[in-house]
Amino acid sequence: MVDKFSGANSQYRDSVFMDYFNDKVRLLSLCNALLGTDYTDPKLLEINTLQGNFFSGQKNDISCRIDDKWLILIEHQSTVNPNMAFRCLLYASQLLNNLVTNKDTLYQGELLIFPEPQCFVFYDGDYVEPLTKEIRLSDSFYTSKGLMELIVTSYNINYDLNQPLLRNCRYLNNYSTLVGKVKQGLKAKLSRREAIIQAINWCIENDVMSDYLTVKRDEVFSMLDLQWDFDEAKVAWFEQGKKQELVENLKSVMKKLDFSAEKAMDFLDVPKDEQPYYASKLKELVK
């Protein structure tokens, strides 16, 4: 029984979801479930996730190319974001552009052939969302005649739902189970630390992600603790809109991640036109 963890480490920037599926075997299984394909050779899959950071350049959650036919983009969300189609447009454009090694060919007579982008969102937040829904780029336009479109398929992967996709990919089901067990612990009034430890122990004992968790349980604890911390901060901000609460959240980000005020505001998605106000408030606190 695991009961000792090193605690949150500010160096863990990725989520458990991103880390767990940054593996060709798991990711290929997930892509097969999404596409209805039956690829078996992980060598056909190339992980090409954009490696920008939170603050400059493009950084998506997970993307890969399969057999030069498919370009798969996967985003994990714990809050509802209606702008995912536009974000995926940016990611897909960058990933496709990266495939053009000689930019002069864009202006020549030969048609370039690309793998087809397929965009997906996995949602496991606490708001009620359908099992599956479409997020369309055209919804962002004042007027739309359907001449430009990008469709993102969003799956609700919460543990207590009858999501067919979870039955078709045991790795995704494993991840959903881990998160679901943490939520069950929190509902039972355990502290977040206790809920995470209990969930990890249960999964190891019941052969859910056991190979991954046994090797990386300290990292997983840290990633989950950090992820929950800032998911809660974002939800509090969006729901209550209290400026002072956002200031406190920004202070927490700066302290826990050793971020500057500017990086903390970018991390919590503070609109650019509001950043001067919060920068002044944070500056007052350090006087």
**Segment 135-177, tens digit of pLDDT:** 999 999 988 777 899 999 999 999 989 999 999 999 999 999 9
- Domain locations along the chain: 16-240
249 pLDDT band, cuts 50/70/90, is: confident
Res 273: pLDDT: 80
Lowest mean pLDDT among 27-31, 32-36, 272-276: 272-276
SS (H, E, C) the chain: CCCCCCCCCCCCCCCHHHHHCCCHHHHHHHHHHHHCCCCCCHHHEEECCCCCCCCCCCCCCEEEEECCCEEEEEEEECCCCCCHHHHHHHHHHHHHHHCCCCHHHHHCCCCCCCCEEEEEEEECCCCCCCCEEEEEHHHHCCCCCCCCCCEEEEEECCCCCCCHHHHHCHHHHHHHHHHHHHHHHHHCCCCHHHHHHHHHHHHHHCCCCHHHHHHHHHHHHHHHHHHHHHHHHHHHHHHHCCHHHHHHHHHHHHHHHCCCHHHHHHHCCCCHHHHHHHHHHHHHHCC
Res 55: pLDDT: 40
- pLDDT, average across residues 184-191: 94
Res 6: pLDDT: 47
* 127 vs 8, higher pLDDT: 127
**Segment 93-146, tens digit of pLDDT:** 999 999 998 888 889 888 999 999 999 999 998 888 999 999 999 999 988 777
